[in-house]
Structure 1
Amino acid sequence: MDQKLWHNLYPEDIPHGLDYPETLLHHFLRKTAAEFPDKPAIHFLGKELTFRYLYEAAEKLAGYLQSIGIVKGDRVAVMLPNTPQAVISFYGILMAGGIVVQTNPLYTERELEYQMKDSRAKGIITLDILYPRVTKIKDHTDLQHIIITAIKDFLPFPKDIFYPFIQKKQYGIVVKVQHEGFCHLFTEILKQPKRTLIEYEQNQEEDIALLQYTGGTTGFPKGVMLTHKNLVVNTSMCTAWLYRYRRGEEIVLGVIPFFHVYGVTTILILAVMQAYKMVLLPKFDVKTTLKTIHKQRPTLFPGAPTIYIGLLNDPDVQKYDLSSIDSCLCGSAPLPLEVQEKFEKTTGGKLVEGYGLTEASPITHVNFLWDHPQVKGSIGVPLPDTDAAIFSLETGEILPPGEMGEMAVKGPQVMKGYWERADETKQTFKDGWLLTGDLGYMDQQGYFYMVDRKKDMIIAGGFNVYPREIEEVLYEHPAVKEAVVAGVPDPYRGETVKAYIVLKEGSNVTEAELNEFSRKNLAAYKVPRKYEFRLELPKTAVGKILRRALVEEENRHGNQEKD
């Protein structure tokens, strides 16, 4: 597509193309620490760490990793929540010449073993309470070293004294390990003198910085190879989009987990690159998040719809001052319009929807934060140097505006490929375009709209039904807190539409009332034939509702009934 319609929409402050720093990710930490040595880099549950401390700690960890045999290209897993240790580990591994493998702390032994085997990670940095899980799978993998830390290690006094008692009450275990053999204590590593680092020759464009596994909601998770350049470029694109923000002056709220690439780019890298303070929370808790915003005054708040919904539905939300929030970039799942409007009214800030995927580091499209209103239902326009197109599902040709097909993207943030999966990498690209697996269209102005996942489209009685459209309607009902729609087997229609509903606290609505509401707003073939009320919905750690988990559950029940 030679003519990029969306460029006509760009404000003067956003260039169509950017000049990117030709440097490695960890060099940004060195640069920022030299420029802002005493500026707070991290606030964590009452404790603050400066950029100087962050750089020196990462440097110590890097030297230690090299001393135990980590060489260029070795994979080291980070299995931590959002903590100072997670930031130190990320940059320390890169300084040592290693590749970071972000690992979800909620993984079961089976999931963890799969990822460690697939990545062939040589080391892992994890929490004390997760240590037993790691030791059970260690001998089945290439893991040689386990570095242990604890939440209390970076808590201020007296929280560091009391936390172990809280942890024991919450998890029922106390883990004590010694700094010996294959076990290494994070606190002991940081007490050691700085070592002289081996400076490997590295290529920004070719060398992998991050092995980020896809969610694996269908099939086995794949390791996405993201280079230093991929991540530097995508973060630079975000910086260009945030053109009113000033280097060294912003505060970013780190709720989105770092084991999701969205959190890596919009918090972990962006904050270091631009000298913003990261306010980290180890998990999303509504009350803690509200209190943190009230006290720490963050200006940038990357999140997911379920996070914003959770905050808005707290009965005490009006008691907190959320007015510091200037901008929120919403990703990971579609943003219901009602949520966006209510959140903007509550905070006075802007909440805009964007779009991305792990394979693109992850951001490709965003709505404008300033100088343009949010376009209803749109995921926005492509970022600078990013191309996007809609491919026909029938002919494979690029479609004109207004026609729906599969979304595809091109740009310097697109992955190198899947780790040791050349065939799957080849299948994901078409003539240099990354096929996203998402259905959408572009309007006459250049705004893009994601209709649904290709694999989530429901074919009911011969009609194509898109769950997102129905979900948008259900979210408009005043009693509905969360909604997800899926196709379930139906003997007559092949598939039929089922809605899973979580109600707001204190609200009540019947299936008949929801059905009547839906019929007023949807064509008859789109109206859910079944409703199921639940206390909660299955979600990923980043807050994305797992539609496929509900479908699989439905299929299991169907098979059991046949038996």
Structure 2
Amino acid sequence: MSWYDAKPWLASYDEQRAAASEFTPTTPLVTFRRTVGQAPETTALAYFDGRISYRELDELSDAFARHLTASGFGRGDRLALVLQNIPQFVIALLGAWKAGGIVVPVNPMYRAGELSHVLSDAGVKALVCSQTAWHDYVGALVPDSSVTIAVTTSELDLQTRDDERVLGKVRREATPGAADLLEVLRSTPGDPPTDLGLGLDDIALISYTSGTSGKPKGATNTHGNLGTNAVILAGAGRVEPGATVFALAPLFHITGMVCEVAYAIEIAGTLALAYRFEAGVVLGALLEHKPAYMVGPSTAYMALMAHPDVTPEHFASFDALYSGGAALPPAVVNAFRDRFGQYIHNGYGLTETTAGCVVVPSGVEAPVDPASGTLSIGLPVPGVIVRILADDGTELPFGEAGEIAVEGPMVVPGYWNRPEATAEALPGGRLLTGDVGFMDERGWVYVVDRKKDMINASGFKVWPREVEDVLYTHPGVREAAVVGVPDEYRGETVKAYVSGAPGAAPDPDELVAYCRERLAAYKYPRSVEVLAELPKTTSGKILRRELRARG
């Protein structure tokens, strides 16, 4: 037995987390039906001033399932969801599963070419999108695609507040060629759909990766992946049943799917939605809904911290705040705790691990590696084995950096119609993440960086996160990203991009000198460029590849 098979992190579990190690695999629909039976009148979805109970959500998703079935949609067919954080997303998600379908969540920021690839690659038969997206580009793609069932909806539905900050430009529009979701739900009465008995190994989602190398690939998240990981994450947490979960992360992202939708259903709680991220809208929603749990990228927390109206009261209701999807600098954690009295717990996961697989336990503060200043991403969650591997696949001892590999019940079986990619990334069911990291002797895991982001400066390895963590300690810096740019003498050299903290105007030369004092000579950035905002994905991850393209 290897060192990792001995699971040294178990000694770091507290009693509650150890108890969570005993879990029963399940599926989201099994959990949902249990929750509907136990708490039918509990609010399932809160959207501005709109409220939908679990009983109503069950009835609405039943109606959508009946519509799909009557339209020729059957078991294993694919339905694409191109929606922001609105109740219709959850209604359509559950309805598609009840009809036996596989959901393809699509980033609503995709443009025509990106969506066209997903529709073709997944062989999508049904699609639900906003009325605006239909008129912008989706409607024009459908006739030449495999889609035969098209449904649209308005973000103005199921609420009456019409907050101008996020809904000010939304208009209700007719969508010839597509049915209206609310009309569909009202016009399809009948008995509950037949339980098709979807099992642990049936595919629930085809979640497309960001496509950093070539076309995006569809990870096949099973019903067992989703349902079981929600059980594990909820069981190891400190959030009371019936609590409110605020959807800071987008629902289409795997974090939103598991750590928001499935998590809220698992605890029979309320999922509070606010369409899309806008710092002022989010802060107002936190005061209104008083959530106990929230997870989102570090960049979202930075934006909330920078808002002029933010106060400790906005975060007073929380039992647990989590960050995932983007690196969490220790300086941000410390500043947030100092200002608001709340600790942001780190977490780590990928689309291929169906969200979190390494998490800082609730109520515990993650250690910081004294050598690099890197904040730990946490301990492997119950049921998971994490290994650190050398380039030749051999296991490395604790403290040595290598590729992070993950095994557990949340790891996907593969990629949709990509056997070669599956064999490369998931040999024997073990996920090779592409992230470089190490584990200490207590089982705490640390991410150094992505393999592909390593900078080679005159033969020396420079990991961007180490430089970024130093920049985040400067009071004038709000966001930071470090990339390698071509250099005739060094091959590559280090360049930093930053955005300023509220009221600050960072001086590039000062930031270079600041880093020079705190880093080895080959690591500090030779140039710094200040931008108003750094480019990010809709899930909040800073896009280093776009910054590299700037040069």
Shorter chain as denominator, the TM-score bin is over 0.9
Instruction: Determine the structure 2 residue equivalent to 1:149.
Output: 153
Supply the AA of the counterpart residue of 2:346. E
Instruction: Determine the structure 2 residue equivalent to 1:382.
Output: 380
Residue 526 of structure 2: which of 517, 526, 529 is its match? 529
Residue 78 of structure 1: which of 77, 81, 106 is its match? 81
Q: Residue 350 of structure 1: CA displacement?
A: 2.9
Provide the rounded CA distance (Å) in 2 between the counterparts of 1:54 and 1:137. Answer: 30
* Residue 222 (structure 2) pairs with residue 224 (structure 1): no
Instruction: Determine the structure 2 residue equivalent to 1:305.
Output: 298
State which drifts further: 482-491 or 135-144.
Answer: 135-144
Q: Residue 258 of structure 1: CA displacement?
A: 0.8
1:96–1:197: 8 Å Cα contact kept in structure 2? no
Provide the rounded CA distance (Å) in 2 between the counterparts of 1:446 and 1:481. Answer: 31
Supply the AA of the counterpart residue of 1:373. E
Q: Residue 320 of structure 1: CA displacement?
A: 4.8
Supply the AA of the counterpart residue of 1:149. T
2:506–2:530: 8 Å Cα contact kept in structure 1? no
Q: Residue 383 of structure 1: CA displacement?
A: 0.4
Deviations 1:348-384 (A, max 9, x none): 33311111110010211011222x3221210111000
Percent identity (aligned): 36
* Residue 112 (structure 2) pairs with residue 109 (structure 1): yes
Supply the AA of the counterpart residue of 2:457. A
Provide the rounded CA distance (Å) in 1 between the counterparts of 2:16 and 2:172. Answer: 53
Which consecutive unaligned segments of at least 5 residues does structure 1 have? 555-563
Deviations 1:325-360 (A, max 9, x none): 221111001101121122223333331111111001
* Residue 239 (structure 2) pairs with residue 245 (structure 1): yes
* Residue 38 (structure 2) pairs with residue 40 (structure 1): no
Instruction: Determine the structure 2 residue equivalent to 1:170.
Output: 169
Equivalent positions of 1:420-499 (< 5 A) are 420-499=417-496
Residue 190 of structure 1: which of 160, 185, 189 is its match? 185
1:41–1:278: 8 Å Cα contact kept in structure 2? yes
Q: Residue 136 of structure 1: CA displacement?
A: 1.2
Provide the rounded CA distance (Å) in 1 between the counterparts of 2:68 and 2:98. Answer: 10
2:79–2:103: 8 Å Cα contact kept in structure 1? yes
Supply the AA of the counterpart residue of 1:336. P
Aligned residues: 541
The TM-score, its normalising length taken from structure 1, stands at: 0.93
Instruction: Determine the structure 1 residue equivalent to 2:10.
Output: 7
Instruction: Determine the structure 2 residue equivalent to 1:265.
Output: 258
Provide the rounded CA distance (Å) in 1 between the counterparts of 2:239 and 2:139. Answer: 45
Instruction: Determine the structure 2 residue equivalent to 1:557.
Output: none
Supply the AA of the counterpart residue of 2:155. I
1:211–1:226: 8 Å Cα contact kept in structure 2? yes
* Residue 91 (structure 2) pairs with residue 88 (structure 1): yes
Q: Residue 40 of structure 1: CA displacement?
A: 1.0
2:321–2:345: 8 Å Cα contact kept in structure 1? yes
Supply the AA of the counterpart residue of 1:301. M
1:438–1:454: 8 Å Cα contact kept in structure 2? yes
The DSSP-based 3-state class of the residue aligned with 2:150 is strand
User: CA 1:259–1:87 in 2, change beyond 3 Å: closer, same or farther?
Assistant: same
User: CA 1:211–1:505 in 2, change beyond 3 Å: closer, same or farther?
Assistant: same
Provide the rounded CA distance (Å) in 2 between the counterparts of 1:360 and 1:482. Answer: 27
Supply the AA of the counterpart residue of 1:221. P
Deviations 1:146-175 (A, max 9, x none): 10110111113xx36x98x996x636x763
**Backbone CA RMSD of aligned residues:** 1.9
Instruction: Determine the structure 2 residue equivalent to 1:559.
Output: none
1:257–1:263: 8 Å Cα contact kept in structure 2? yes
Instruction: Determine the structure 2 residue equivalent to 1:560.
Output: none
Supply the AA of the counterpart residue of 2:114. E
1:126–1:147: 8 Å Cα contact kept in structure 2? yes
Deviations 1:191-211 (A, max 9, x none): 124334553644523210011
1:127–1:148: 8 Å Cα contact kept in structure 2? yes
The DSSP-based 3-state class of the residue aligned with 2:276 is coil
Instruction: Determine the structure 1 residue equivalent to 2:341.
Output: 348
Instruction: Determine the structure 2 residue equivalent to 1:129.
Output: 132
Provide the rounded CA distance (Å) in 1 between the counterparts of 2:175 and 2:456. Answer: 55
1:355–1:379: 8 Å Cα contact kept in structure 2? yes
1:235–1:269: 8 Å Cα contact kept in structure 2? yes
Q: Residue 69 of structure 1: CA displacement?
A: 0.6
Q: Residue 430 of structure 1: CA displacement?
A: 3.5
Provide the rounded CA distance (Å) in 1 between the counterparts of 2:5 and 2:498. Answer: 44
Q: Residue 23 of structure 1: CA displacement?
A: 4.3
Q: Residue 321 of structure 1: CA displacement?
A: 3.5
State which drifts further: 478-487 or 341-350.
Answer: 341-350
Residue 285 of structure 1: which of 278, 283, 298 is its match? 278
Q: Residue 67 of structure 1: CA displacement?
A: 0.6
Instruction: Determine the structure 2 residue equivalent to 1:503.
Output: 500
The DSSP-based 3-state class of the residue aligned with 1:524 is coil
User: CA 1:238–1:53 in 2, change beyond 3 Å: closer, same or farther?
Assistant: same
Equivalent positions of 1:348-427 (< 5 A) are 348-370=341-363, 372-376=364-368, 377-393=375-391, 395-427=392-424
2:437–2:445: 8 Å Cα contact kept in structure 1? yes
Q: Residue 16 of structure 1: CA displacement?
A: 7.0
State which drifts further: 33-42 or 464-473.
Answer: 33-42
Supply the AA of the counterpart residue of 1:381. L
2:259–2:355: 8 Å Cα contact kept in structure 1? no
The TM-score, its normalising length taken from structure 2, stands at: 0.95
Deviations 1:478-515 (A, max 9, x none): 00011000111111111110100111232123222111
The DSSP-based 3-state class of the residue aligned with 1:288 is helix
State which drifts further: 544-553 or 475-484.
Answer: 544-553
Instruction: Determine the structure 2 residue equivalent to 1:51.
Output: 54
Q: Residue 119 of structure 1: CA displacement?
A: 0.7
Supply the AA of the counterpart residue of 1:511. P
Supply the AA of the counterpart residue of 1:406. E
Provide the rounded CA distance (Å) in 2 between the counterparts of 1:81 and 1:58. Answer: 18
User: CA 1:369–1:23 in 2, change beyond 3 Å: closer, same or farther?
Assistant: closer
Deviations 1:297-330 (A, max 9, x none): 1110111101100011112212854211221111
Provide the rounded CA distance (Å) in 1 between the counterparts of 2:240 and 2:139. Answer: 45
Supply the AA of the counterpart residue of 2:169. Q
2:250–2:256: 8 Å Cα contact kept in structure 1? yes
Provide the rounded CA distance (Å) in 2 between the counterparts of 1:203 and 1:59. Answer: 16
Provide the rounded CA distance (Å) in 2 between the counterparts of 1:280 and 1:21. Answer: 29
Instruction: Determine the structure 2 residue equivalent to 1:558.
Output: none
